[in-house]
C-alpha cells in the first residue's frame, strides 16, 4: 500500500466518523517558541488551550513535520529522519478515551478491502500510563485486548508533552509485533525493534507549567476541556503495510535513495559508509524539498540555517559517494517531487521554484566546498602535526562564517579524521552574533512578553482582534491590556515604553512584506500613546508598541485609535506596486520567478524572487514599461474574500510558501494581476503615479532582489537624475542621447592615460635599480640594499623595484629591502636571493621584523615577502632593524 493511499484511508475513515479533514499546516510554525512544526498536534495547540475557536470539534489531518535535534544520527541508524508525516485525529472537548480507543482499533483491524489497514488483532499490543486504570479497562473490556497484551509504563513512555509549557496528558500507544526474527518476546517493554509503535493516543487534559525534562514537569491545572490528540507516523505505517524493514525502504524514501545510488554508481547494502551516505541523501533531499516548498530560503540564521545545513550535508554526502557532477540535487529533487506529488500536488505546481532554490544552493556550496575543504585540511594537518586531536574553534568559525560550513558539517568531517572540534571556542565566537540576531528577531515579534501573557490577552479577546483597517483609519476601542517590560500592568505613566492590546484596531500589523502602521492611541482620560510599531506575535493577536507621550494610560479604558494616514497611503501604493511588478516578472521570466520576500515601505519597495541568474537589463526595462502602462489605464483595485479552491481556480497567485486558511482574501488590479493577499492597497492603479525600478542584485543562492520607488519618490528620483544628466551633458558638450558614447570614449582615453602614467612611473622607479645595486653594502658577507622610495610609489612598483635590484646583484648573496608610503600607510618589501636563503636569511622572517617596527604585520615566502604598518615615521628605524638582522644571523 503506497504512502499516499495510507494517508487517504486514514483521512477517509475519520471523515466518515464526523471529522473535518484539515490540510497540513505549513512547516513554518505559528508558535513563536518554535522554528518549525515538530509534531502533528502543534497547529492544534491554540484550540487545546481555548485561545482560538476551532473550525470543528472533530478534525483529522496529515501534518508535515521536521525535527533536527538528532540530525547527526540520520543515516547512522534506520530510525531517525528529519522530515516525517503525522496522521492524527483530534477532538476539542468532544469525545475522549471511550471513543478514541475504539476508533483506532477499528481502523487498524478492519480489512483492507473494507477501507482499513487489515492488521491481525493478535499482533497488536498496547501500553498505558502506570496508573491509568480507565484506559486499561476500555482496552480490555470494550475492545477485547487480553490483559497480557496491555502493558503499564512510566512517564518517559506514556505521558506526552511538547517539551515546553503547554498542553499535555497521559497517552496510550499501540504496537505491532513484527515477529521473532526482529527481536525477543515480551511486548514493547522488552524490545521496541520487534514491537514497532504505530499509533499514540494522547489524552490531552492538562496545562503544563515549567517543563524541566521528559519526566520532570509541573501541572499548572486542567485544560478548559478534555481533548484527544492522536498521532500515527505515516512512514512507520508504510514499513508494515509495504513489508519492508525500515523507513528508508518505504516508497517515498526508497525512490530517492535508489536514484542517488544510480547517479553515484554505488549500491545500497554494499558497505556501511555508503549506506549511511545514501540514507542521509534520501532523507535530506526529501526534507529540503518540503522546506523550500513552504517558502524557506537557505540562509545562516533560523529556519534558513536548518535548510542550508540539510542541503549542504546532502551535497557533501553525494561527493563522498563519488558524485562530482553538479546537478545531481536537481535530479534527486525531481525524483522526490514525483514520489510525493500525489499526496502534495503543490509540489508539482511549484516544482520550478523548488528546483531554482535547491539548484542554486548546490551550485553555491559546490563553489565554496573545495576551498573550505582545503582550509579544513590545513587545520587538520596543523592539529595532527602539533600532536593535538582537536580542530581549533577559530578554524571552525572561519569555515562557518566565510565558507558557509555548518558547524555540524565540520564536526562530521573532523570525526572522519579521528579528531574533535573545539566547540566551546566556536560557540564563544558565534555567541554574540547569534544572540544578537535571535534577540532582534524575538523582540521584533514578541517584545519582552512571555508567550503565556500574550496567550491570556488573546483569550480575553475571544481568540482574535478585529482588524478594521481595510475600511477605517480611526476607530473607537477598549484596552484589553498594557504591557511594560513584558509584564501586564494596570497603568503606565508618561515616558513609559508600552505594548497595548485593543479589542479592535485600524492599525495594520507588520506582515506579508508590509510595514506596520504608525499613529496614536488617544485615551478618553487624556493620555496619548505614540505607536511606532505593530506586530502580530500570535495568530489573531495585534500588539501596538510605542511610548506614552502624555497622561496616564490605563488598562480597560476606552480609546480612539488613529493611524498616520499619509504613511498608510504611501505603504499601500508600494504594496500594490509590488503585486504588479511580481506579475510583470512572472510574465517575463516564467513561473520560476516566484516571490520569495518583499518589503513595502513608504515610497519604496523591494521584491525578492527565485531566479537562476541575473535579470538582463532589457527585462528590467520591459517590466518597468509594462507596469507603468497599467498605471495609465487606471485599473480598479478590488479586494474580496473567497475559498482558497475558488481563488486558485480563478488564477490568483499564491505566494511561494505563504500560509493561507480555507477562506482567503484576493486582491485584483483589473484583469492584470490577481493575488492572495492580506495587505492594504490603493483604490485604482493610477493612484500609484509612477514606478521606477532602480536595479536588481543577488541576495543569496537562487534569490534576486529588485529595488524600486513609487509615487512622488519615483518622480523626485527621476527629477534628480534629469538634473544630473543635464549637468553632465553641459560638462562634456554633448546632447543627452550622445552621452553614453561620449562618456565611454572619455573613460577609454582616461584608462589609456593611466596605463601610460603607470608605465612611466614604473620606468622611473626602475631607473634607480642600477644605482641602488652599485651602492649595496657588505653586511657580514651579504650584499644589503635598504631603500626608501618616494612617497606615492605603489606597492606593485615597490615589489618590482626590489626584485629588479636583487637580479642585478647576481654573483653574491643578497637581501634587498624597499620601503615606501603608497597612500597613508607604510609598506615594506624584502627580496632575498637563493644564496642568502642558504645562509638562513628568509624574506618572511625579515619582513615581520620590519612590519612590527612600523606598528603592523606581514609575511610571505622565503624569497619575497611584503608587510605594512601604521607609523611611516619609523621607516628608517625599520631599515636599520633589518640590516642588523641580516648581519647578525
Q: DSSP secondary structure string, 600-651?
A: EETTEEEEEEE-SSPPPHHHHHHHHHHHHHHHHHT-BEEEEEEEHHHHHHTT
Residues in Cβ contact with 85 at an 8 Å cutoff, skipping those fewer than 6 apart:
3, 7, 62, 63, 64, 65, 233, 234, 235
- Domain interval for residue 838: 775-888
Closest CA to 371 of 408, 400, 405, 403: 403
Count CB-CB contacts under 10 A for residue 566.
Answer: 10
677-717 pLDDT, tens digit each: 999 999 999 999 999 999 898 887 778 899 999 999 999 99
> Do 557 and 601 belong to one domain?
no
Query: Could you tell me if residue 85 is inside a domain?
Result: yes
The response to whether 65 counts as a known ligand-binding position is: no
pLDDT at residue 444, rounded to an integer? 45
Rounded Cα distance between 637 and 669, Å, is 5
> Do 379 and 478 belong to one domain?
no
> Do 103 and 38 belong to one domain?
yes
Query: Could you tell me if residue 751 is inside a domain?
Result: no
Query: Could you tell me if residue 475 is inside a domain?
Result: yes
**Which residues face 200 on adjacent strands?**
173, 231
> Do 372 and 457 belong to one domain?
no
> Do 369 and 500 belong to one domain?
no
Rounded Cα distance between 737 and 687, Å, is 31
Query: Could you tell me if residue 878 is inside a domain?
Result: yes
Residues in Cβ contact with 517 at an 8 Å cutoff, skipping those fewer than 6 apart:
469, 506, 507, 508, 531, 534, 563, 564, 567, 568, 571
Query: Could you tell me if residue 196 is inside a domain?
Result: yes
Rounded Cα distance between 382 and 395, Å, is 11
pLDDT at residue 433, rounded to an integer? 55
> Do 106 and 212 belong to one domain?
yes
Give the DSSP letter of residue 448.
Answer: T
- Domain-terminating residue out of 243, 276, 306: 243
Rounded Cα distance between 487 and 447, Å, is 11
> Which CATH number goes with the domain that contains 879?
3.10.310.40
Query: Could you tell me if residue 87 is inside a domain?
Result: yes
Residues in Cβ contact with 878 at an 8 Å cutoff, skipping those fewer than 6 apart:
819, 826, 828, 849, 850, 851, 853, 854, 869
Residue with cell 496614536: 520
Cβ atoms 30, 37 nearer than 8 A: no
Cβ atoms 666, 650 nearer than 8 A: yes
pLDDT at residue 29, rounded to an integer? 83
The response to whether 677 counts as a known ligand-binding position is: yes
The response to whether 140 counts as a known ligand-binding position is: no
pLDDT at residue 479, rounded to an integer? 95
> Do 100 and 179 belong to one domain?
yes
> Which CATH number goes with the domain that contains 201?
3.30.930.10
> Do 172 and 34 belong to one domain?
yes
> Do 540 and 610 belong to one domain?
no
Give the DSSP letter of residue 538.
Answer: S
> Do 55 and 167 belong to one domain?
yes
Cβ atoms 86, 44 nearer than 8 A: no
Cβ atoms 819, 878 nearer than 8 A: yes
> Do 540 and 641 belong to one domain?
no
pLDDT at residue 334, rounded to an integer? 96
Evaluate the CA torsion angle 142, 148, 149, 154 in order and state its sign: positive
The response to whether 575 counts as a known ligand-binding position is: yes
> Which CATH number goes with the domain that contains 616?
3.30.980.10
Rounded Cα distance between 458 and 442, Å, is 19
Structural domain total, the chain:
5
Closest CA to 445 of 28, 872, 888, 18: 28
Query: Could you tell me if residue 868 is inside a domain?
Result: yes
Q: How far is residue 117 CA from its own chain's centroid? A: 39
191-199 long-range CB contacts below 8 Å, 24 or more apart? 195/125, 196/236, 196/239, 196/240, 197/173, 197/233, 197/236, 198/108, 198/174, 198/232, 198/233, 198/236, 198/237, 198/240, 199/104, 199/108, 199/173, 199/174, 199/230, 199/231, 199/232
Cβ atoms 405, 399 nearer than 8 A: yes
Q: How far is residue 298 CA from its own chain's centroid? A: 5
> Do 53 and 189 belong to one domain?
yes
- Domain-terminating residue out of 522, 546, 563: 563
pTM over 0.85: no
- Domain-terminating residue out of 704, 719, 734: 719
> Cα separations (Å) of 561 from 474, 530, 564?
5, 10, 10
User: What parts of the chain have a pLDDT lower than 70?
Assistant: 324-325, 370, 402-404, 406, 408, 432-452, 654-662, 889
Query: Could you tell me if residue 381 is inside a domain?
Result: yes
Amino acid at each position: 500500500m503506497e504512502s499516499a493511499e495510507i494517508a487517504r484511508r486514514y483521512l477517509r475513515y475519520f471523515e466518515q466518523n464526523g471529522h473535518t479533514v484539515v490540510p497540513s499546516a505549513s512547516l513554518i510554525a505559528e508558535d513563536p517558541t518554535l522554528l518549525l512544526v515538530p509534531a502533528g498536534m502543534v497547529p492544534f495547540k491554540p484550540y487545546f488551550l481555548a485561545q482560538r475557536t476551532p473550525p470543528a470539534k472533530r478534525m483529522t489531518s496529515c501534518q508535515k513535520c521536521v525535527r533536527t535535534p538528532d540530525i547527526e544520527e540520520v543515516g547512522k541508524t534506520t530510525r531517525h529522519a528529519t522530515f516525517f508525516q503525522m496522521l492524527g485525529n483530534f477532538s476539542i472537548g468532544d469525545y475522549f478515551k471511550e471513543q478514541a480507543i475504539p476508533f483506532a482499533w477499528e481502523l487498524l483491524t478492519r480489512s483492507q478491502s473494507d477501507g482499513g489497514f487489515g492488521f491481525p488483532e493478535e499482533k497488536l499490543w498496547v501500553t498505558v500510563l502506570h496508573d491509568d486504570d480507565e484506559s486499561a479497562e476500555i482496552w480490555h473490556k470494550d475492545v477485547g485486548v487480553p490483559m497480557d497484551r496491555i502493558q503499564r509504563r512510566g512517564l518517559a513512555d506514556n505521558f506526552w508533552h511538547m517539551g515546553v509549557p503547554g498542553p499535555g496528558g497521559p497517552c496510550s500507544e499501540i504496537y505491532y509485533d513484527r515477529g521473532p526474527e526482529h527481536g525477543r518476546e515480551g511486548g514493547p517493554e522488552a524490545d521496541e525493534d520487534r514491537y514497532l509503535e504505530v499509533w499514540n493516543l494522547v489524552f490531552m487534559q492538562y496545562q503544563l507549567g515549567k517543563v524541566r525534562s521528559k519526566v520532570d514537569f509541573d501541572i499548572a491545572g486542567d485544560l478548559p476541556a478534555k481533548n484527544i490528540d492522536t498521532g500515527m507516523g505515516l512512514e512507520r505505517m508504510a514499513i508494515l503495510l509495504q513489508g519492508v524493514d525500515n523507513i528508508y525502504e518505504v516508497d517515498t524514501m526508497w525512490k530517492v535513495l535508489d536514484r542517488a545510488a544510480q547517479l553515484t554508481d554505488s549500491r545500497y547494502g554494499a558497505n556501511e559508509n555508503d549506506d549511511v551516505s545514501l540514507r542521509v541523501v534520501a532523507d535530506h533531499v526529501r526534507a529540503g524539498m518540503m522546506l523550500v516548498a513552504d517558502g524557506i530560503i537557505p540562509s545562516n540564521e533560523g529556519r534558513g540555517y536548518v535548510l542550508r545545513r540539510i542541503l549542504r550535508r546532502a551535497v557533501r554526502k553525494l561527493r563522498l559517494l563519488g558524485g562530482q557532477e553538479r546537478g545531481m540535487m536537481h535530479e534527486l529533487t525531481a525524483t522526490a517531487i514525483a514520489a510525493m506529488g500525489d499526496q502534495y500536488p503543490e509540489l508539482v505546481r511549484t516544482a520550478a521554484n523548488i528546483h531554482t532554490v535547491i539548484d542554486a544552493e548546490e551550485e553555491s556550496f559546490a563553489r565554496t566546498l573545495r576551498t573550505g575543504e582545503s582550509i579544513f585540511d590545513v587545520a587538520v594537518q596543523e592539529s595532527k602535526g602539533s600532536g593535538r586531536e582537536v580542530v581549533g574553534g577559530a578554524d571552525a568559525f572561519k569555515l562557518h562564517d566565510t565558507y558557509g560550513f555548518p558547524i555540524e558539517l565540520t564536526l562530521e568531517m573532523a570525526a572522519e579524521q579521528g579528531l574533535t572540534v573545539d566547540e566551546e571556542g566556536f560557540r564563544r565566537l558565534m555567541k554574540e552574533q547569534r544572540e544578537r540576531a535571535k534577540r532582534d528577531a524575538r523582540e521584533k515579534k514578541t517584545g519582552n512578553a512571555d508567550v503565556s501573557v500574550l496567550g491570556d490577552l488573546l483569550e480575553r479577546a475571544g481568540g482574535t482582534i478585529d482588524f478594521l483597517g481595510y475600511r477605517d483609519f480611526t476607530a473607537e476601542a477598549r484596552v484589553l491590556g498594557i504591557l511594560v517590560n513584558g509584564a501586564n500592568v494596570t497603568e503606565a505613566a508618561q515616558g513609559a515604553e508600552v505594548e497595548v492590546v485593543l479589542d479592535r484596531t485600524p492599525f495594520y500589523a507588520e506582515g506579508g512584506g508590509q510595514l506596520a502602521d504608525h499613529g496614536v492611541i488617544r485615551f478618553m482620560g487624556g493620555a496619548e500613546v505614540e505607536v511606532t510599531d505593530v506586530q502580530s506575535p500570535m495568530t489573531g493577536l495585534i500588539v501596538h508598541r510605542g511610548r506614552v507621550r502624555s497622561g496616564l494610560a490605563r488598562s480597560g479604558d476606552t480609546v480612539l485609535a488613529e493611524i498616520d494616514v499619509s504613511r498608510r497611503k504611501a505603504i499601500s501604493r508600494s504594496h500594490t506596486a509590488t503585486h504588479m511588478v511580481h506579475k510583470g516578472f512572472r510574465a517575463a521570466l516564467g513561473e520560476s520567478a516566484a516571490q520569495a520576500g518583499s518589503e513595502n515601505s513608504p515610497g519604496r519597495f523591494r521584491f525578492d524572487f527565485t531566479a537562476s541568474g541575473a535579470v538582463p537589463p532589457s527585462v528590467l526595462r520591459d517590466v518597468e514599461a509594462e507596469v507603468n502602462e497599467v498605471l495609465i489605464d487606471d485599473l480598479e483595485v478590488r479586494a474580496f474574500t473567497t475559498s482558497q479552491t475558488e481563488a486558485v481556480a480563478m488564477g490568483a497567485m499564491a505566494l511561494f510558501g505563504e500560509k493561507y486558511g480555507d477562506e482567503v482574501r484576493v486582491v485584483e488590479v483589473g484583469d492584470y494581476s490577481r493575488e492572495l493577499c492580506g495587505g492594504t492597497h490603493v483604490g485604482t492603479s493610477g493612484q500609484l503615479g509612477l514606478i521606477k525600478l532602480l536595479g536588481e542584485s543577488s541576495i543569496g543562492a537562487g534569490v534576486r532582489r529588485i529595488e524600486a520607488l513609487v509615487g512622488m519618490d519615483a518622480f523626485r528620483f527621476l527629477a534628480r537624475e534629469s538634473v544630473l544628466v543635464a549637468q553632465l551633458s553641459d560638462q562634456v558638450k554633448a546632447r543627452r542621447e550622445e552621452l553614453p558614447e561620449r562618456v565611454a570614449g572619455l573613460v577609454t582615453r582616461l584608462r589609456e592615460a593611466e596605463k601610460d602614467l603607470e608605465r612611466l612611473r614604473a620606468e622611473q622607479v626602475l631607473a634607480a635599480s642600477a644605482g641602488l645595486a652599485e651602492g649595496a653594502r657588505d653586511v657580514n658577507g651579504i650584499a644589503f640594499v635598504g631603500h626608501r622610495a618616494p612617497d606615492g610609489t605603489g606597492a606593485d612598483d615597490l615589489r618590482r623595484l626590489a626584485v629588479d635590484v636583487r637580479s642585478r646583484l647576481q654573483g653574491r648573496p643578497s637581501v634587498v629591502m624597499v620601503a615606501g608610503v603608497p597612500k597613508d600607510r607604510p609598506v615594506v618589501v624584502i627580496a632575498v636571493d637563493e644564496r642568502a636563503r642558504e645562509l638562513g636569511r628568509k624574506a618572511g622572517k625579515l619582513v615581520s621584523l620590519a612590519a612590527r617596527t612600523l606598528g603592523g604585520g606581514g609575511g610571505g615566502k622565503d624569497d619575497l615577502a611584503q608587510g605594512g604598518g601604521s607609523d611611516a615615521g619609523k621607516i628608517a628605524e625599520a631599515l636599520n632593524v633589518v640590516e642588523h638582522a641580516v648581519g647578525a644571523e
